[in-house]
Amino acid sequence: MPIRTLVMTGATRGIGRLAAANVVSRRPDIHLVLLARGGADDVAAELRSRGGTVTVITTDLSSPAEVYASADRVTALLGSGDLPPLAGIIANAGIQFTSALTTTADGYEETFAVNVLANHVLIRSLTDSLQDGARITVTSSDTHFGDLRHNLGLVPAPAWRHPATLAAPGAFPDPGSAVAGRTAYSTSKLAVIYLVHAFARQLPDSVQIVSYNPGFVPGTGLARDASRFEQFVVSRVMPALTLTPIAATKSAAARHLADVALGSVVATSGDYIDRGRVVRSSDESFDRARENELWDYAEQLMTDLRC
C-alpha cells in the first residue's frame, strides 16, 4: 500500500492522542504530521515506539499566521517529496475557557481562534495539495444543538453573532462568566459545522470533508481551565455517564475518530458523523446565510495572511 500523509491537530491529549495511536497502529503506511504548540515530541516518541512515522511541526493554533506558516511548510515538504502525498486532515484541536475574554496575541477571542479560524486557515491552505480521495475530518460537538437531550443542559445553546463579533473577546453577556465561556464553545462548534458545509461546496468533488461529534467524553482535558469544583465533577462524577448513551469513553471516542479519518465510516461530503454514524446536525446548522458570512470573514483573513 502506498505511503500517504495525514496532517493532524489536537493530538497531544485526550481523544486526539489516543486516536493518533489508533491510526498508526492500524495503518503503518500513514505518515502522521502533528501540528501542536507543545507536548507533541512526547506524543511523537510514543507513536514511533508503536511503529508510526511521525513529523512534528510546532504551531500555535491560536495564531492564524502560525497556522498559515505551518501549512506552507507542509506544502513545501510535500512538494520536495520529503512527505508522501496528502491523503487527509484531522482537525481535532479544540479548547474551552471559563470566560469569553481569553485573548490571543493577535487580539482574537481564543476559543474562536483555535476552534474555528485555525481550521479554516489550515484546510484552505492545504486544499490544493490534497490528493483525490482525501478526507478532511473536523471535530465538532453535539453542544451545537443547545438542548437538554444532547448535553443535559450542561452547556448553553449557541448564540450566533456576526463572525467579526465572535472573533473578538466579550461577544456574549457577562463575558467574564463561565456561562459566557461555554457559550463561546458551543457557538464555535456550530461555526465548525457551517465551515464544513461551506467547504463541502467549495472543495473538488474528489475531496471529502465531514464533521465528527465524539459525544460527551469525560476526562479529555477540555475542562482544564475550569474551576476545581467543575474539574472534580467532570473527572469524578461525569464518567458514570459513559454507562449511558449520552457519553462515551475516551477510547471509544478515539476509535470512532480514527474510523472517520481513515474512511471506515461511509459518508457524503458535508455530513455530520455522531460517533460512528451519519446523523442530521441541528436545524440551526443549515443556515446558508450564516455559512456564507463566516466563509467571507475567514476568506478575508486568508487574504490578509497572504499579503
> For residue 56, what pLDDT is reported?
98
pLDDT value at residue 91 = 98
CA 29 to chain centre: 23
d(CA 134, CA 205): 10
pLDDT of 173 above 50: yes
Residue 285: Cβ-neighbour burial (10 angstroms; 0-12, 13-18, 19+): buried
The three cell numbers locating residue 54: 511521525
Kindly report which listed range (79-88, 90-99, 206-215, 248-257) carries the lowest average pLDDT score.
Answer: 248-257
Q: What is the pLDDT of residue 229?
A: 45
Q: How confident is the model at residue 152 (pLDDT cuts 50, 70, 90)?
A: confident
Rounded Cα distance between 169 and 187, Å, is: 14
* pLDDT confidence of residue 224: 46
- DSSP for 195-212, written as a single string: HHHHHHHHS-TT-EEEEE
Mean of per-residue pLDDT scores for the chain: 92
**Residue 225 above 80 pLDDT?**
no
User: Quick one: pLDDT band at residue 234, thresholds 50, 70, 90?
Assistant: low
Q: Which residue has the higher pLDDT, 230 or 286?
A: 286
Residues 14-22 have a mean pLDDT of 96
Residue 5 falls in which region: left (phi positive, over 0), alpha (psi -120 to 50) or beta: beta
> How many Å apart are CA 307 and CA 42, to the nearest integer?
35
Distance, CA of 75 to CA of 85 (rounded, Å): 10
How far is CA 207 from each of CA 92, 129, 197, 215, rounded to the nearest angstrom?
A: 18, 11, 13, 25
pLDDT digits over 23-61, tens only? 999 999 999 999 999 889 999 999 999 999 999 999 999
pLDDT at 296 exceeding the cut of 70: yes
Query: How large is the greatest C-alpha to C-alpha distance in the chain, in angstroms?
Result: 54
In DSSP terms, 55 is beta-bridged to: 33
